[in-house]
Amino acid sequence: MTDVLDHLIDALRTELQQYGEILSLLDLQEQAVKQQGAEEILRIVAAIHAQSAHIEAARAARQHWQQQLALALGLSPDATLSHLTTLVPEPYRLLLLALVQENNDLRRRVREQAEQNQALLRRAMALLEQVLATFTGPGLLGQEPVEPAPALELAADPTQQRAVA
C-alpha cells in the first residue's frame, strides 16, 4: 500500500505543479492584455491551451493512483480522496491532506485568474468592435457599407481559454 501512496503523492505534487504553471501563464496573459500585445496574447493563449492538456494528464494520473489506493484498501475505485485519507497511516494522511488543500487552493486561484483574464479580453474585444463600427455603416463618403469581420470567441471553460475563429 505504501507504494501506491507514494505514487498518489507524486501525482498530487505533479498536478499541483501543473496548476502553478498555468497560473503563471495566466499572469503573463493578463500583462499582455493590459499592454495590448496581440501577438503575445495569441502565443500565451496557445501555451495555456497546451498547459491545460498537461493538467488533464496530471489529473488522470492522480485519479489512477487514487483508484489504485481505493482498491488496495478494499474499497470501490470511485472512493473519494477525502474518504481515502481517513484510512491511511498518519504521516501519509497529513501529507495527502496538505497536498489536496494546496491543489484545491491553486485550482481556485487558476479559475479566478482565468475568469479575470476572460473579462479583460471581452472588454478589449468590445472596444475593438466599437472602433470597427466607426468604419462600417452609412455615411462613409458614398461607399458601400463594409461588413465587419467575424469576431473571435473565447472557450467557455477559462482553464482551456483560447482564441478560436
- Per the prediction, the chain carries an average pLDDT of 85
Q: Please state the pTM of the whole predicted model.
A: 0.69
Give pLDDT, residue 31. Answer: 84
Residue 142's region, left for phi above 0, alpha for psi from -120 to 50, else beta, is left
Per cent of the chain over pLDDT 90 is 56
Going along the chain, which residue ranges are E strands? 153-154, 163-164
> How high is the pLDDT of residue 137?
66
Contacts of 100 (CB under 8 A, 6+ apart): 12, 81, 82, 85
Task: Please compute the mean of the pLDDT values over residues 68-90 and round it to a whole number.
Answer: 96
Residue 164 has pLDDT above 50, yes or no: no
Which tens digit of pLDDT belongs to each residue from 117-136?
899 889 888 887 887 777 67
Supply 61's cell numbers. 494520473
Summarised one tens digit per residue, pLDDT across range 80-96 is 999 999 999 999 999 99
To which residue does cell 500565451 refer?
A: 44
Q: Where are the domains of the chain?
A: 2-164
